[in-house]
Amino acid sequence: QVQLVESGGGLVQAGGSRRLSCKSSVSLFSLSAMNWYRQAPGKQRELVARVTTGGTTDYADSVKGRITITRENVKNSVDLQMNSLKPEDTADYSCDVVFVGQNYWGQGTQVTVSS
């Protein structure tokens, strides 16, 4: 079983930056996929970014060039560096990992971008 704890959310002005962290209770090398999702009120959850064990990354078109996902192997965390934030980035951000074929989710962290 995997426990995930997200942190780093909060209130930020448009154009600002925020770094989210998802700390895993198991080594990242045990995980076959690591993803960050977000869900805004009244909207469906969407994939923001993902990184594979091999380091391949993928991003939603809406965040390309502004958000970077990184594996912090020493800390066992998957971080999301968000720059040039927009009000439409306001959402609850949560991480999802796959461990031995099963998905595990964190509790989420809220990011609110004010205009």
pLDDT at residue 63, as a whole number: 97
Class of residue 31 by CB neighbours under 10 A (exposed 0-12, middle 13-18, buried 19+): buried
State the residue for tokens 């205009």. 115
Q: What is the pLDDT of residue 40?
A: 96
> Which tokens belong to 105?
């989710």
Which is nearest to 77 in space by CA: 111, 36, 110? Answer: 36
Are 6 and 22 in contact, with CB atoms under 8 Å apart? yes
Give me the residues paired with residue 96 across strands: 35, 105
Element (H, E) at 111: strand 109-114
Each residue's pLDDT tens digit, 45-92:
999 999 988 889 999 999 999 999 999 989 999 999 999 999 999 999
Q: Tell me what pLDDT residue 55 has.
A: 87
pLDDT in tens, 93-114: 999 999 999 999 999 999 999 9
Higher pLDDT, 27 or 17: 17
Q: What is the token pair recorded at 19?
A: 């770094």
